[in-house]
């Protein structure tokens, strides 16, 4: 039995009720958690828990009476059952009874239960005394404890406090009046590791690999590396992780069967959630402000996780993991990008080599728009902070290459970016990146309008009239190419439109990049080998001829043969 438990037992088991017991300790040490667990294990008393955090003096009586009434057993005698049950109902939803069609004050209900409230099985745990509104409210709490709980009810009272956090006025009152209600003081000092072990035990049933589970991962990733962990924040974190863990187990996602992805995902999620939880618990409740303050590994999911923590908004775990797996694979294939994204952990030499490698990459590949914008913001930041270690020419070349990649996406691909409030985008990505990205979006909108007209002309066979060689340049547009390909492969197709598109695309074959050439050729082969009745025999015959010509010369062929 530890000293705290021994002292608590001595206080509670004494035949003569004494003054209150004070337990003093720093925030985040687990005072509340430890006391609640103690009473759950002891099972002799009914705990009346009261937090006075922010409470004004006018609310003190009702706060104590509500908690006391709610703690009475359902079969309490000597008080009208209906009235008591209504009191419990409203208390359970944390609402004031006075505002809900009950025409008697709580003090009157408490008066009806005087004898029941004198029950020695009721123990009052008063928490957050240093957080009470002001000195006036503190005096009211002291008065209530003294005159009602101690003198009238003969109750045992335990007060949890962090004396170091009292402001000057409240500390002066507390120090001068403490002896009137408190007779014992315990300085809270527990085995933090035992509390942490108890908290993380919920995560034991999820294996990360053959030798590690989620509980041990949390310990290695977070607990072992931080000396000043807040136990309240850890408790909240574990609750979130347990909820997410249960959903991950039920989903049985293929991506999570990869041990490397599974382990890194949980490491990043643990660190991301803990940073958000601790920031939120400091009193920061504005999502944009939290986002600005925290830098987390799961940057792409930052907004979702913040809303999940502060307001309980649900989000798609499946989508989060799917996107994470794609990013993980991208970084595995592109170590230079991984180095830049995690530049704080890298040496100057590693950073310089990564910048050179990326600048000299002939064909950059990304999974989506978000990856490009995130990397652009990192590159821009490095340049602004004089951490760009290669030439300005190479810097400009890399930016130009990345903005070219960005311009090849369609407008719909920017939905996530455009969903961010406009005034908040510079805070996330920097003013320069925000301006350039939106220049690209504006150009895509303009090109979309032009491309739609071009596509309609091609489908209708009017591209000759519009100027064949001018339209050839459109073959380089990923937007036009992908939309034309979708018409070729869609289920309900117009045979005339297909012929016109084939004429155009075969004639523009030389203008396609290698990826487009491969895609087009593969689609023609699939059409040729298809048993579908969507294509007439003449068209299929001509497709076979064109495929033979493309294979033989790997060049554009005469469109008049189709």
Q: Which pLDDT tens digit goes with each residue over 360-404?
A: 887 777 878 888 888 888 888 888 878 888 888 888 888 888 888
In the predicted model, what is the mean pLDDT of residues 312-338?
78
Q: What is the pLDDT of residue 128?
A: 94
Tokens of 220: 């290695």
Residues 471-517 pLDDT 10s: 455 544 666 777 788 777 775 666 778 778 877 777 777 777 788 88
C-alpha 526, offset from chain centre: 43
Pairing status of strand 182-187 against strand 20-24: parallel
pLDDT at position 78 is: 52
d(CA 15, CA 429): 66
As a whole number of angstroms, the distance between CA 541 and CA 552 comes to 17
More confident residue, 555 or 121: 121
Label residues 107-140 b or e (16+ Cβ within 10 Å = b): eebbebbeebbebeebbbbbbbbbbbbebebbbb
The single residue listed with the structure tokens 């369609």 is 410
pLDDT for 557 equals 42
Mean pLDDT for all residues in the chain: 80
**Assessment of whether the complete model's pTM goes beyond 0.85:** no
How high is the pLDDT of residue 468? 42
Q: Does domain 3-190 have CATH number 3.40.50.300?
A: yes
Lowest mean pLDDT segment, chosen from 76-80, 143-147, 256-260: 76-80
pLDDT over 90 (residue 319): no
Judged on CB neighbours under 10 Å (0-12, 13-18, 19+), 349 is exposed
* Interior/surface letters 421-458, b for 16+ CB within 10 angstroms, e for the rest: eeeebeebbbebbbebbeebbeebeebbeebeebbebb
- Per-residue pLDDT, 553: 55
pLDDT of residue 186: 92
CA 365/CA 387 separation, integer angstroms:
24
- Domain limits of the chain? 3-190, 192-333, 476-561
Per-residue tokens: 545:
């001829």
> Which residue from 250, 255, 241, 254 is spatially nearest to 204, judged by alpha carbons?
241
For residue 466, what pLDDT is reported? 44
* Token couple for 518: 């491969």
For residue 540, the surrounding DSSP H or E stretch is: helix 537-553
| pLDDT at position 445 over 80 | yes
Is residue 431 over pLDDT 70? Answer: yes
Assess whether pLDDT exceeds 70 at residue 534.
Answer: no
In degrees and rounded to multiples of 5, residue 161 shows phi and psi of -150, 155
Alpha-carbon gap, residue 327 to 338, rounded angstroms? 10
22 has pLDDT over 60: yes
Q: Which string of DSSP letters, residue by residue, matches 402-448?
A: HHHHHHTS-GGGGHHHHTS-GGGHHHHH-HHHHHHHHHHHHHHHHHH
| 227-247 tens-digit pLDDT | 677 777 888 899 999 999 999
Band of pLDDT at residue 94, cut at 50, 70 and 90: very low
């Amino acid at each position: 039995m530890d000293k705290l438990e021994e002292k608590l037992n001595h206080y509670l088991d004494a035949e003569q009720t004494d003054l209150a017991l004070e337990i003093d300790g720093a925030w985040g040490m687990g005072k509340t958690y430890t006391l609640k667990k103690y009473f759950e294990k002891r099972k002799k008393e009914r705990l009346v828990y009261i937090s006075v955090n922010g409470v004004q003096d006018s609310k003190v009586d009702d706060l104590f009476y509500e908690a006391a009434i709610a703690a009475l057993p359902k079969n309490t005698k000597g008080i009208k059952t209906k009235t008591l049950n209504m009191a419990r109902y409203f208390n359970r939803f944390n609402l004031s009874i006075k505002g809900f069609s009950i025409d008697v004050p709580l003090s009157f209900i408490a008066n009806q239960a005087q004898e029941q409230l004198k029950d020695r099985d009721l123990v009052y745990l008063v928490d957050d005394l240093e957080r009470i509104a002001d000195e006036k409210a503190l005096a009211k709490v002291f008065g209530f404890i003294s005159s009602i709980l101690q003198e009238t009810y003969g109750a045992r009272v335990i007060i949890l406090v962090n004396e170091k956090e009292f402001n000057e006025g409240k500390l002066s009152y507390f120090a001068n009046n403490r002896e009137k209600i408190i007779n014992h003081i315990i300085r809270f000092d527990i085995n933090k590791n035992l509390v942490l072990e108890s908290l993380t035990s919920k995560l034991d049933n999820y294996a990360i690999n053959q030798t590690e589970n989620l509980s041990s991962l949390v310990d290695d990733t977070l607990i072992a590396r931080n000396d000043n962990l807040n136990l309240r924040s850890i408790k909240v974190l574990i609750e979130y992780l347990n909820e997410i863990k249960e959903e991950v187990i039920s989903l049985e996602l293929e991506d999570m069967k990869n041990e490397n992805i599974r382990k890194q995902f949980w490491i990043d999620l643990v660190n991301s959630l803990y940073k958000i939880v601790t920031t939120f618990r400091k009193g920061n409740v504005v999502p944009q402000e939290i986002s600005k303050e925290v830098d987390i590994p799961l940057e792409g999911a930052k907004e979702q996780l913040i809303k999940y923590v502060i307001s309980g908004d649900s989000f798609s775990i499946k989508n989060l993991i799917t996107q994470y797996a794609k990013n993980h694979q991208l970084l595995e294939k592109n170590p230079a990008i991984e180095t830049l994204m995690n530049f704080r952990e890298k040496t100057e030499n590693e950073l310089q080599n990564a910048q050179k490698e990326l600048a000299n990459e002939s064909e950059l590949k990304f999974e989506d728009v978000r990856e490009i914008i995130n990397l652009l913001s990192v590159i821009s930041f490095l340049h602004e902070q004089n951490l760009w270690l290669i030439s300005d020419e190479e810097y400009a070349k890399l930016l130009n290459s990345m903005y070219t990649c960005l311009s090849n996406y369609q407008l719909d691909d920017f939905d996530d970016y455009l969903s961010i409030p406009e005034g908040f985008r510079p805070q996330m990505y920097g003013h320069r990146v925000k301006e350039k990205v939106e220049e690209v979006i504006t150009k895509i909108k303009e090109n979309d309008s032009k491309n739609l007209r071009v596509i309609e002309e091609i489908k209708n066979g009017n591209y000759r009239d519009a100027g064949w060689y001018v339209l050839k340049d459109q073959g380089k547009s990923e937007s036009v190419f992908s939309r034309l390909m979708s018409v070729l492969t869609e289920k309900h197709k117009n045979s005339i439109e297909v012929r016109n598109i084939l004429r155009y695309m075969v004639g523009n074959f030389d203008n396609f990049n290698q990826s487009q050439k491969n895609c087009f050729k593969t689609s023609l082969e699939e059409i040729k080998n298809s048993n579908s009745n969507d294509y007439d025999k003449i068209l299929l015959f001509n497709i076979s001829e064109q495929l033979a010509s493309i294979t033989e010369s790997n060049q554009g062929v005469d469109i008049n043969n189709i």
